[in-house]
Amino acid sequence: MAMLHTVNKSSFDRNTFESCLRLAKEGSSVLLIEDGVYAAMKNTTAAEQINSAMGTLTFYVLGPDMDARGIKADALIDGFKIVDYNGFVDLSIEHDSVQSWL
């Protein structure tokens, strides 16, 4: 059962992103929204965890929330896919359920 996990807080502020990575099953997807988008940036302490999970999970980041924080596409870890709100809606449909990590 593929699940969409959304994380909305910075991984440098709370541990929800770390919990999400630990508990998400293979084949699931993680969508970073709001302050959660900071974890998608290269060269941070979160990058290592993401790189090692890249093979089993699919990573997405919400473009409008990147833009609001001045994060450019070239600052992202390789493999991240950028979606807009339409893409967020599509992802929630493509997966069997949505888990919001708050």
Site string (38-77) toward another protein, x via CB under 8 A: --------------------------xx------------
> d(Cα 50, Cα 19) in Å, to the nearest integer?
12
Is 35 among the residues that bind another protein (CB under 8 A)?
Answer: yes
Instruction: Candidates 33, 41, 46, 76: give the one binding another protein (CB under 8 A).
Output: 33
Check residue 15 for interaction with another protein (CB under 8 A). Answer: no
